Amino acid sequence: MSNSVAKRFGGTITMGCDPLLAQPRMFADNLLYFSHGRSAMIWLIQNAGPFASAAICAYTWPEIPRMAGRYGLKVGFFDFGQENIDGVIESLPGKCLVIVPVFYGFKPWIDYQAVAKKYQGKAVVLLDAAQTAFGFEDYPLPQGGAVLSCPHKATALNDGAVLAVDGLSVEVKCRQQALMPAEEFRRIKAEGRRLLASGDDQIEQEGLKLIVQLEETWVSDPPQRMSDLSQQELALLDPLAHARIRRENYLCLKQELGKYLPSVTLPMGVPFAYAALTDDRSRILKELYKRRVFATALWPGAIYEANLHPRAAAHAQRLIALPIDQRYNTRDMEQMAEIVTAVL
């Protein structure tokens, strides 16, 4: 007997929801395809250096600064929203990897191209648009640097991160293409998505557990490339429809919730979620989960010093993110907003 449950908002994106093109499209020649974001970052550290240090936003997934430390880089932090990061870069030794965030698909607050030009020879700028599907073509390349996006996070692709590289040589591209494809990653992720689509609460939990364990523990070194199937599927995704749906859903939710739960204010690109700050996060999340609204509190374990990085601290302690992805339409957003409003 099936334990059928109510509509689910949020969680891993289910299969079959992405808008598709009639024919696959061609991509630029300066792209490298990896299994996921950590593989791409590790490859960059290993191939664009040697690096002695990294400048990283204090509000980010804590695995990023830890990973930099494991590869021998001295890490310096700047605050969320901090526009001038010159002091951080100049305080760090040797060649520096500067990771500029594209927060939740909003446009970056740092003029990353100016940073790349100013510190040419001292720094390599990586625009970290991991929470976007097509940031690798939405954002101009920094001089001598790269742009990272992770379509597997924002679509139903079962693996895939894309790194656009300035000045990519044919030799380097051929060497990267010889990496092992992430077939096992793709297979496990696909199984998790299948379980999540069951409509059975217990089976959904099994799928979620499978995906979380995969993404938290997957070994990224040596880096792996995107599976052939996911690369073929990426070429069929419709980026314009993808962006339109997400923007429409975000703006609808902003209209419905703006006076109760205002969104973080940054210029909009292609939003990953509706992000807001609240002083009652734990209670709100608990109540939303009961109603199958799986909002997210990202990076509560972010590495920061509250006195030096007050905005990072505020986001790590107070941010809540609501889903606005392509599974949903504006009617769904209105329905979800009613649920959220009821628990505020």
Given a contact cutoff of 8 angstroms between Cβ atoms, the answer to whether 133 and 239 are in contact is: yes
CA distances from residue 181 to 200, 244, 281 in whole angstroms, order as listed: 32, 31, 39
pLDDT, tens only, 8-53 = 899 888 889 999 999 999 999 999 999 999 999 999 999 999 999 9
The H-assigned helical ranges of 31-130 are 37-47, 63-70, 86-91, 112-118
Q: What is the tens place of the pLDDT at every residue in 75-128?
A: 999 999 999 999 999 999 999 999 999 999 999 999 999 999 999 999 999 999
DSSP 273-312: EEEEE-S-HHHHHHHHHHTTEE-B---TT----TTT-HHH
Residues 221-238 have a mean pLDDT of: 95
Q: How far apart are the first and last CA of the chain?
A: 35
User: pLDDT digit string (tens) for 170-183?
Assistant: 999 999 999 999 99
Query: Cα–Cα distance between 93 and 171 in angstroms, integer?
Result: 29
Number of H helices, E strands in the chain: 14, 11
**Angle, to 10 degrees, between the axis of helix 63-70 and the axis of helix 37-47?**
30
All CATH 3.40.640.10 domain ranges in the chain, comma separated: 31-177
User: 146-199: per-residue pLDDT in tens?
Assistant: 999 999 999 999 999 999 999 999 999 999 999 999 999 899 888 888 887 777
Give the separation between CA 233 and CA 19, rounded to whole angstroms: 11
Residue type, 336: M
Mean pLDDT of 321-334: 97
5 band by pLDDT with thresholds 50, 70 and 90: low
Give the H or E element holding residue 256: helix 239-257
For the chain, residues classed under CATH 3.90.1150.10 are 239-343
Q: Which of 57, 54, 30, 27 is nearest to 41 (CA)?
A: 54
| Strand-pair category, 319-323 with 96-101 | unpaired
Q: Which helix H or strand E contains 170, and what residues bound it?
A: helix 170-177
Residue 39 CA, distance from chain mean position: 14
Q: Are 220 and 43 in contact (CB under 8 A)?
A: no
User: For 31-177, which CATH class?
Assistant: alpha beta
Min mean pLDDT across 63-67, 115-119, 196-200, 249-253 is at 196-200
Burial (CB count within 10 angstroms: exposed 0-12, middle 13-18, buried 19+), residue 126: buried
Q: Which H or E element spans position 251?
A: helix 239-257
Cα angle 138, 140, 144 (rounded to 5 degrees) comes to: 140
CA distance 208 to 219: 19
Domain 239-343 annotated CATH 3.90.1150.10: yes
